[in-house]
Amino acid sequence: MDTPDCLALQRPEDVLIARLSQELSGYLDQAQVDDCVRAYQFGALAHAGQFRKSGEAYICHPLSVAIILAGMHMDARGIMAAILHDVIEDCQVSKQEVATQFGVEVAELVDGVTKLTKIASRSQAETQAENVRKMFLAMGKDLRVILVKLADRLHNMQTLGVMPPEKKRRIARETLDIYAPIANRLGMNHIRHQLETLGFEAMYPYRYAVISNALKKARGNRRKVIDTIESSIKNRLEQANLPCNVLGREKNIYSIYQKMYLKKLSLAAVFDLYAFRIFCDTVDSCYRVLGIVHNLYKPIPGRFKDYIALPKANGYQSLHTLLIGPYGQPIEIQIRTHEMHHMSESGIAAHWLYKSDNGKAEKIQASANEWLRELLEIQKSAGDSLEFIDNLKVDLFPQEVFVFTPKGKIIKIARNATIVDFAYAVHTDIGNSCISAMIDKQLVPLQTKLENGVTVEVITAPWARPNPLWLNYVTTVKARSSIRNFLKNFKQQEAINLGRRLLEKELHTMRLQLDTIEDSRLQGLLASTKSRSLDALLEDIGLGNKMPFLIAKRLEQDDVSANVRLNDTENDKQQKNPLVIKGTEGMVITLAKCCRPIPGDAIIGFFNPGKGIVVHHHACRNRTILRKKHTNWLDVEWSTDVVGDFPAELRLEILNQRGALATIASTISEFDSNIENVTVVDQDVHVCIDLITLTVKDRVHLAKIIRRLKELTIVLKITRVKA
């Protein structure tokens, strides 16, 4: 056996492989250890001649990553993947070669960790986002990918000192933003704390030094206080015959900084908090210990959390309580079983650390898999990798509340989540069709934020669909991505439907029907307009990118390539067959905000490329400007069965006296109308001029409201704003 003196003469990589082999021998059989050594030999040959910035051979890095994973009792294939995790990216080694030498499973793991080196990205941020996105896709197949990546990141952070300052800060920011929260989400607190501390030191070296030095100075006095409280708790537990371990603990530097930063506390105020953990043998003992410490020191109301009955999303379980100590200082106490503590430190790594006979490890594994499945659904609907990474960041910082369905099922959801978030958490279809909700049998608006312990009943309707305004207040990733995905597809379908109506309207004036036109002529039309399909052409028409009259004219002529311009005679023909609208067509037909047309008004529309048709009042001042600038306008008219609420704007001159606006609002509400906005335009001692936006059913409804307002003595003049 090598002596320490012999080891000192050996190369660093020889020392590391010896250490790794010793670690692996503790839980793997010899054949598996030999496979890992063979992977080392392959990796050492592939990385031959490569060195890290520190000057050591590059193979030392993957060996160090493998040693970190061996401490988690990672299986042999996971260790082999860790040793080989850079050979595809940095060496002339293909995925197929790795698969031939070590099996498909190892090759897939290595490929999952490998960065995308050939992305044609516009920025460093986009490259990193695409790398993380790919890693999550690989995680969906095998969770060991993220364990290898976290160990890789941990060793990189441990050896960050040789990097230039700017690169050091960029890597530290990415670690604090993405990798530490991922470790937290997967319940791996031991890894998370190390990543946070190292990331904080690299990101803010001066702040780290100040807090670190203050901790060292205060440690002596704090130790005396901690020992006093610790012995008091131990004595009381011994009197109750409860065998428990009590441990006074020091918060890590990053959590101290976070508490100072978020709660605007001084360093002294954070040091005033003393923290203890009590480890019990059974869950029953945890609750008994809680009662004992509450009798020993006075609890602070509202600061108790039961994460045993309601575990966190990452599987974390513990009882948390805050007490007033013997010196008047707050004491934070966490009570958990030994098993819960192991789970809180290891998270999904417990699946390997304690083998599959541990039910709790299986639950954490299942929870992680469920989270990954949701993320993979989200990434399918994400517009690009940067949108996915933004969604991921939101999802990595959940502070949960627990609410109940009417049947008593507990739903975990992020703090500050609304009823819309809850509806999507239950099921996407429920979110898409929700119209209102009841909390504890009281009707509430959809933007209501949820609180712990409430019972939520979502009311749905088959005709309902997501509202773009929901994006202003939803907080969960699933709700936001589901709404965006629906609206994206909905707008496309609405544009296709509108495009078909517009084209059929033009064809009707030419005595043609779209359904009866020969396929060969349609194909020729698609080729000449460079459209992928008929739906794509109809979508372009609906969005205003192509004129329906010109498309219809091409179909009418034998020569589909003819380019016909719209003239006054054709305008007259177009006006004889106006487009009928109901005002509920969605996002491809919008009502102009300058004149706010309502049912009953004479209206006109014009194509706004990319957005569809914008409808204006016929008397709108902008109409003249638009007709000069745009030739792509058309006549439209309201349907006879139009339904809904439409905004209209009134200009009121009223006496400037107390309660005048309240009287106006009360009068308007009597007619089943809602005030959306009030703007004070001008005001003096006697008269006030207000612009009021209210919702009405149609022109008749608005006339009734105006007639009633004119009867009020406080109203001097009232006019409808049409431009």
- List the catalytic residues: 89-90
Whole-angstrom CA distances from 351 to 78, 179, 348, 547 are 13, 20, 6, 61
Tokens 């080891």, located at residue: 7
CB-count exposure of residue 305 (10 Å: 0-12, 13-18, 19+): middle
Would you say 398 and 414 are in contact if contact means Cβ atoms under 8 Å apart?
A: yes
In whole angstroms, give the CA distance from residue 351 to residue 348.
Answer: 6
> What 8-state DSSP symbol labels residue 597?
-
Cβ count within 10 A of residue 659: 9
The DSSP bridge partners found for residue 579 are 636
Phi, psi angles (nearest 5°) of residue 461: -145, 140
Rg (C-alpha) for the chain, rounded Å, is: 34
At a CB cut-off of 8 Å and minimum separation 6, what does 48 contact? Answer: none
Give counts: helices (H), strands (E), the chain.
Answer: 31, 20
In whole angstroms, give the CA distance from residue 23 to residue 20.
Answer: 5
In whole angstroms, give the CA distance from residue 610 to residue 604.
Answer: 19
| Closest C-alpha among 265, 238, 236 to residue 251 | 265
Helical H segments across 605-659, by residue range? 621-629
Tokens 């989270």, located at residue: 371
Would you say 475 and 416 are in contact if contact means Cβ atoms under 8 Å apart?
A: yes
At a CB cut-off of 8 Å and minimum separation 6, what does 538 contact? Answer: 495, 496, 499, 500, 503
| Closest C-alpha among 234, 367, 221 to residue 292 | 234
